Chain A
Amino acid sequence: MNSIPPAENLGIPVDIAAVEKQLVTFWKSTGDTAAAVRACSCNLVSFARSGKEASQFLPVLARISEWHPSRSITAFVEPDEPLDPPDIHAWISAQCSVPLSGGPQVCCEAITIAARHRARRNLPNVILSLLVPDLPIYLYWRSFRIADRDLIQQLARFSRLLIVDSHQSREDPQNRLQLLQFLTERPGGNAMRDLNWSRITAWRDLIAQFFDSPGLSRYAHEVSEVEIIRNLDHPGSIPTRTLLLTGWLASSLGWRRISAERAGDRWSSVWKSRNREVRVNFTGILSEPGQVPGINSVTLRAGSRAEFVVSVEQGSHCISAVAAVEGSRLTHSVPEELLDESSLLIAELSQTGDDSVFRAALTEAYELEKAFSQNH
C-alpha cells in the first residue's frame, strides 16, 4: 500500500489491512505490562474535515479517554490529487492517563484513517471493521458537510448516539440550515446531540429554576416578552444557540409561532401561548476584540409584574439569575462552566439516551431558522 504520512502528527503510520495486528505489536512495545492497563468501554467514531483537524482532535480524545475509555477512530477525507491512487491510510496512537486514585496508567487506542478519491465511499465499511465488538458506538460528526451526509447515515445505523457541533457551521447559514434539517430527520432513528445544546445548559438550568419555585411557577405561562442579547463574531449571523434557546422555550411552554422577521442584527418572532401573544426579540452586538461570542443576557417578562433575567456578570466568570417579582428580588449566581470541546463531549457521553427535550427544541429552532431565511 502506498502510504504517504501527512505533515500532521497522527501517530504511527500502519497498513490499513493490519491495524489490529499492529495495535497488538504496539501495545507489546509500549507497555502492555502491569504498569499500564488497556481500557475500552465504547467506540468513539469521529469525522474531521482534514488531517490537520484530526491531529488537533487527538488531545481532545486523550482528555475524553480519561472519563470514557474508548477505541477512538477518527476519519477524514484527503483532498483529491489526480495522480494519487484511491487508497486508505491509517495511523495508530495511544492515549494514556494516570487515574486520580492511583494505580497503573490507563491507556486507550486511537486510530486515524484517511481516504482518498473513490476510497471515500469505503470509509463506513473500513470503520465497521475496526470497531470493538459488543461495545456501544458513539458517532461525533465534528464538522458538518452535506457532502458527507451519506457516510454519516451509513454509520448512524450502527450508532447509539450521534453528536454534532453546529457551532462549526456558524459561518455558513446554508450549511447550518442543512445540518438542522439533517438532525430533525433523525438519521438512524437513534439519539443525537448538538454540542451547542450543551453550551446553553447553564442558561436553560437557570431559566427553568426560576419556575421550579412553587410561588413562581405560574409565571412561566404568563411570559409575554423575551429579550435575548448576544455577542456576535460577525454581523448578520443567526447564532444556533439563540435559536435553540428560543426553540426550547417555545417547545417547553407550548408556544406556536405566528411570525418571524429579521432586520440586520435584530430579529423578532411572535408566538401564541394559550390566550396571549409572546414576542421574542433578539439583538446581536458585535463582539469586541478578546470577547468570547455567546449569549449575553436573557430576559423574560410577565407583563409588568415579573421580570426574570439571566446574564453574564462582566469580569467575574459567573452567570447570575435575578427574579424580580412584585417587589421581591431573588438572585442566584453560578460560575461559567468550562465549555471546551472535550468537556462538552465528556458530558454528552455521560448521558447517551434520547433527549426528547432537545429534539423538540431542535424542531422549533429549525423551523424558526427556515422562516428567517425565507423572510430575509
Chain B
Amino acid sequence: MIIFGGSGDLTRRKLIPALYRLSKRRMIPAGFTIVGIARSPMDDGHYRELLRAWIDKDPESPSDPETWETFAQGIHYMSADYRNSSMYGELDKLISEKDAIRRTGGNRLYYLAIPPSDYAGIIRNLGANNMGGEHTGGAGWTRVIIEKPFGRDLQSAQDLNGVVSSVFSEDQIYRIDHYLGKETVQNILVFRFANGIFEPIWNRQFIDHVQITAAENIGVGSRGAYYEEAGALRDMVQNHVLQLLALVAMEPPPDFSPAAVRSEKAKVLRSVRSFTPEDARRLSVRAQYGPGFTGGKEAQGYLAERGVAPDSRTETYAAIKFNIDNWRWANVPFYVRTGKNLAKRVTEIAIVFQRTPHFIFRNAPRDQVESNVLAFRIQPDEGITLKITAKLPGQAMEMRPVNMDFRYGSTFGPHLAEAYERLLLDCMLGDPTLFNRIDSVEVAWSLIQPFLDTWEDDRSSPIPQYASGSWGPAEADELLASENRNWRLL
C-alpha cells in the first residue's frame, strides 16, 4: 500500500490505526507492506517510530509488542516530493524491491491522502511511468483509493475523472466516502432488505417526509483555509448526505453485488428532481456560524477563524429540500441539513411517518400525538430508534411518545470496526460495493451545481448567521415551518 501523504493528518488519524487494527485481527497477511511518501527527511526507522506513536494514541487499540513487530517489518518510507515527476521511477523500483522481498504478489494499492488539487498530477505521473496498469507489478492487481472531494463542481469532477480513467479502469478506482463504511450505514440496507415488515410501508403512502442531519459541534479549527474553498455543500452534502439519501431511497437491488447496489444508488440519485436557479434559492438555506458556546467552550464566529477571509461568504451550514420524482417517493420531501458548530455532533436519518388519518381520542389533546419516527443514528451511539405513542398510566387518556431503542453498543458490544478498517479491507479484497462509482459522483455534483452557481452569483443579500451551539439559523426552521413541519430536536 503506497500512501501519498504518508505523514499527513488522515494517515495519522485514520489509515495507520485502521491498518494496525486489521493486522491485529489477522485480517491482512504477514507480507503486507506500507510505503509512506512525504517530503520530510526521514528513514524507515524514524517513520516506524512515528507510526507507533500514532498507534499508541488510539485508546481502542494501542500497539502491543507482538503485533507491532510484524507490522513494523512492512513499514517503509520514501522522502520525496510527489509533485516531482522524476521520483516515480525510483518509487516504482522501491515497490518492486519490496514486492520481491515481502512477496506481495505484485498487488499495489495507491492511497491519495493528499490535498485534492494534487490528485490529477499524481495520477498523470503514475500513468506516465506505467504504474497504473492492472498487472503493473506482475500477476497482482493495482488499485487506487481517492479521498473525497472528487472535484469541486461538476465540471472539475468530470475533468478529474478524465485524468483518472486515462490511467485506471473504473474497477481499479475506489472513491472513498468513509460514511459508507460505518456499520449503521451498512445496516440501513440490512434493515430495509432483510426485514419483511418495513418494505410495504417504505413509500409515499406511509411516509410523510425524511430528515437527514449531519451536525458537528466543532468549527473549522485550523482548517479555515481549506474550508473557505469547500463549504458545507461541497464538504458534506455532495458526498455523505446524498449517499445517505440514496441508501434510504433506493429500490431493492436484485442482490448485494457491487454492480447491483451501486446501480440502484445511481438510479435513485438520477430521480432526484433537479433545481432551477429559482428553486435553488427557494428550497435551500445557507448560513455561517457566529459566536456562541459549543463543545464545552466559548466559540468564535466563522469570520474570526484563522484562514478565513473577513468578508467570506462560504457557508458553514446548509439545509436543502430535495424531492424524488419516482413512484415510491412522489411528494415526499427529503430535508437535509448539515453544519459546523451546531448543538451536538450527530448524524442521523429520520423517517417521519404520516399521522393517523383519524384521531379517536376526543378527550385527549391532539397535539400530544406525534408522528412515528424511525431514526437511524449513524454517529455517535450508533443504533435505531422507533418513536411510538403510548398511554401514560392513570385515569386520564394522557399520551406520551416513547422510544424503542436498538443500540449497537449495548447489543453487540462497544467495539465496532472503524469505517476505514472496513473500507481498506474491502478495497484489498476487490469489493467496491461501499465505494462511489463515477456515475453517482457526477449525478451528485449535478444536483448541487445549481446551489453552487446560485450562491456564487448571489452576493447582494447577507448570509444568515446562527449562534454557535444552536441548531442553525431561523431561516432553516422556516424552510420546514412553511410546510407545517419541524426539524427534529436531536
A129 on the B face (CB < 8 A)? yes
B368 on the A face (CB < 8 A)? yes
Interface residue tally of chain A, by bracket? Answer: 20 to 34
Task: Identify 5 residue pairs between A and B in the complex whose beta-carbon atoms are under 8 Å apart, listed by A's number.
Answer: A125-B468, A126-B469, A128-B471, A134-B373, A136-B400
By the criterion CB–CB under 8 Å, are B398 and A352 in contact? yes
Identify 10 new A-B residue pairs, CB closer than 8 A, beyond the known A128-B469, A191-B365: A18-B296, A41-B402, A88-B293, A125-B470, A126-B293, A129-B294, A133-B385, A134-B375, A351-B396, A352-B400
A15 on the B face (CB < 8 A)? yes
Give, as a whole number of angstroms, the nearest-CB distance from B208 to chain A: 16
A16 on the B face (CB < 8 A)? yes
B344 on the A face (CB < 8 A)? yes
CB contact between B387 and one of A128, A134, A352 (< 8 Å): that residue: A134
By a CB distance below 8 angstroms, the chain B residues around A352 are: 365, 368, 398, 400
Give, as a whole number of angstroms, the nearest-CB distance from A93 to chain B: 19
A80 on the B face (CB < 8 A)? no
Taken together as a complex, chains A and B put the C-alpha atoms of A191 and B368 apart, in Å, by 11
B333 on the A face (CB < 8 A)? no
By a CB distance below 8 angstroms, the chain A residues around B367 are: 353-354
Q: Which residue of B lies closest to A350 (CB)?
A: B394
B238 on the A face (CB < 8 A)? no
B364 on the A face (CB < 8 A)? yes
A86 on the B face (CB < 8 A)? yes
By the criterion CB–CB under 8 Å, are A350 and B398 in contact? yes
Give, as a whole number of angstroms, the nearest-CB distance from A364 to chain B: 23
By a CB distance below 8 angstroms, the chain B residues around A353 are: 364-365, 367-368, 398
Give, as a whole number of angstroms, the nearest-CB distance from A350 to chain B: 5
List A1-36 residues whose CB lies under 8 Å from chain B: 1, 15-18, 20
By the criterion CB–CB under 8 Å, are A86 and B385 in contact? no
By a CB distance below 8 angstroms, the chain B residues around A41 are: 400, 402
By a CB distance below 8 angstroms, the chain B residues around A128 are: 343-344, 469-471, 489
By a CB distance below 8 angstroms, the chain A residues around B392 are: 350
Give, as a whole number of angstroms, the nearest-CB distance from B132 to chain A: 45
By the criterion CB–CB under 8 Å, are B296 and A15 in contact? yes
Give, as a whole number of angstroms, the nearest-CB distance from A337 to chain B: 15
Given A125-B469, A352-B398 in contact, is the A133-B489 Cβ separation under 8 Å? yes
By a CB distance below 8 angstroms, the chain A residues around B295 are: 17
Taken together as a complex, chains A and B put the C-alpha atoms of A60 and B394 apart, in Å, by 21
A220 on the B face (CB < 8 A)? no
List A254-282 residues whose CB lies under 8 Å from chain B: none
CB contact between B343 and one of A17, A20, A125 (< 8 Å): that residue: A125
Taken together as a complex, chains A and B put the C-alpha atoms of A1 and B471 apart, in Å, by 24
| Residue of A18, A126, A353 ringed by the most chain B CB atoms within 10 A | A353
CB contact between B297 and one of A17, A125, A160, A191 (< 8 Å): that residue: A17
Mask of B214-254 contacts with A, CB within 8 angstroms, 1/0 = 00010000000000000000000000000000000000000
By the criterion CB–CB under 8 Å, are A351 and B398 in contact? yes
A151 on the B face (CB < 8 A)? no
By a CB distance below 8 angstroms, the chain A residues around B403 are: 134-135
A322 on the B face (CB < 8 A)? no
Q: Which residue of A lies closest to B380 (CB)?
A: A20
List B349-386 residues whose CB lies under 8 Å from chain A: 364-365, 367-368, 373, 375, 380, 385
Q: Which residue of B lies closest to A154 (CB)?
A: B470
By a CB distance below 8 angstroms, the chain B residues around A126 are: 293, 469
B56 on the A face (CB < 8 A)? no
Mask of B7-42 contacts with A, CB within 8 angstroms, 1/0 = 000000000000000000000000000000000000
List A155-190 residues whose CB lies under 8 Å from chain B: 158, 160
By a CB distance below 8 angstroms, the chain A residues around B468 are: 125
Give, as a whole number of angstroms, the nearest-CB distance from B35 to chain A: 37
B306 on the A face (CB < 8 A)? no
By the criterion CB–CB under 8 Å, are B292 and A125 in contact? yes
By the criterion CB–CB under 8 Å, are B401 and A136 in contact? yes
Taken together as a complex, chains A and B put the C-alpha atoms of A354 and B366 apart, in Å, by 10
CB contact between B396 and one of A16, A18, A134, A350 (< 8 Å): that residue: A350
Taken together as a complex, chains A and B put the C-alpha atoms of A59 and B298 apart, in Å, by 32
By a CB distance below 8 angstroms, the chain B residues around A191 are: 365
Taken together as a complex, chains A and B put the C-alpha atoms of A137 and B486 apart, in Å, by 15
Chain B positions within 8 Å of A, measured between CB atoms, are: 217, 292-298, 343-344, 346, 364-365, 367-368, 373, 375, 380, 385, 387, 392, 394, 396, 398, 400-403, 467-471, 488-490
Given A125-B343, A133-B490, A353-B367 in contact, is the A16-B400 Cβ separation under 8 Å? no
Q: Which residue of A lies closest to B344 (CB)?
A: A129
A131 on the B face (CB < 8 A)? yes
By the criterion CB–CB under 8 Å, are B294 and A125 in contact? yes
Taken together as a complex, chains A and B put the C-alpha atoms of A357 and B293 apart, in Å, by 40
Give, as a whole number of angstroms, the nearest-CB distance from B418 to chain A: 18
Q: Which residue of B lies closest to A123 (CB)?
A: B293
List A341-358 residues whose CB lies under 8 Å from chain B: 350-354
Give, as a whole number of angstroms, the nearest-CB distance from B311 to chain A: 26
Ranked nearest first, the 10 interchain pairs of A and B with the lowest CB-CB distance are: A17-B296, A353-B365, A122-B293, A125-B469, A129-B343, A16-B296, A133-B490, A128-B343, A134-B387, A129-B344
| Residue of A42, A131, A352, A354 ringed by the most chain B CB atoms within 10 A | A352
CB contact between B401 and one of A16, A88, A129, A134 (< 8 Å): that residue: A134
By a CB distance below 8 angstroms, the chain A residues around B296 are: 1, 15-18, 88
Taken together as a complex, chains A and B put the C-alpha atoms of A1 and B297 apart, in Å, by 8
CB contact between A42 and one of B298, B396, B400, B471 (< 8 Å): that residue: B400
Give, as a whole number of angstroms, the nearest-CB distance from A78 to chain B: 15
A119 on the B face (CB < 8 A)? yes
By a CB distance below 8 angstroms, the chain A residues around B467 are: 125
By the criterion CB–CB under 8 Å, are B471 and A133 in contact? no
By a CB distance below 8 angstroms, the chain A residues around B471 are: 128
Q: Which residue of A lies closest to B489 (CB)?
A: A158
By a CB distance below 8 angstroms, the chain B residues around A160 are: 368
By a CB distance below 8 angstroms, the chain A residues around B385 are: 133-134
By a CB distance below 8 angstroms, the chain B residues around A88 are: 293, 296
By a CB distance below 8 angstroms, the chain A residues around B365 are: 191, 352-354
Q: Which residue of B lies closest to A28 (CB)?
A: B414
Give, as a whole number of angstroms, the nearest-CB distance from B63 to chain A: 24
Q: Which residue of A lies closest to B363 (CB)?
A: A353
By the criterion CB–CB under 8 Å, are B298 and A119 in contact? yes
Taken together as a complex, chains A and B put the C-alpha atoms of A5 and B346 apart, in Å, by 30
Taken together as a complex, chains A and B put the C-alpha atoms of A122 and B467 apart, in Å, by 9
CB contact between A134 and one of B343, B364, B488 (< 8 Å): that residue: B488
List A96-145 residues whose CB lies under 8 Å from chain B: 119, 122, 125-126, 128-129, 131, 133-137
Taken together as a complex, chains A and B put the C-alpha atoms of A352 and B387 apart, in Å, by 18
Q: Which residue of B lies closest to A115 (CB)?
A: B293
Give, as a whole number of angstroms, the nearest-CB distance from B342 to chain A: 9
Q: Which residue of A lies closest to B295 (CB)?
A: A17
By a CB distance below 8 angstroms, the chain A residues around B398 are: 350-353
Give, as a whole number of angstroms, the nearest-CB distance from A103 to chain B: 16
Taken together as a complex, chains A and B put the C-alpha atoms of A131 and B344 apart, in Å, by 10
Taken together as a complex, chains A and B put the C-alpha atoms of A217 and B236 apart, in Å, by 67
By a CB distance below 8 angstroms, the chain B residues around A158 are: 489
Mask of A282-318 contacts with B, CB within 8 angstroms, 1/0 = 0000000000000000000000000000000000000
Taken together as a complex, chains A and B put the C-alpha atoms of A135 and B402 apart, in Å, by 7
Give, as a whole number of angstroms, the nearest-CB distance from B300 to chain A: 13
Give, as a whole number of angstroms, the nearest-CB distance from B469 to chain A: 4
Taken together as a complex, chains A and B put the C-alpha atoms of A129 and B368 apart, in Å, by 23
By a CB distance below 8 angstroms, the chain A residues around B489 are: 128, 131, 133, 137, 158
Taken together as a complex, chains A and B put the C-alpha atoms of A111 and B380 apart, in Å, by 20
CB contact between B217 and one of A129, A133, A134 (< 8 Å): that residue: A129
Given A15-B296, A126-B469 in contact, is the A133-B375 Cβ separation under 8 Å? yes
By a CB distance below 8 angstroms, the chain B residues around A125 are: 292-294, 343, 467-470
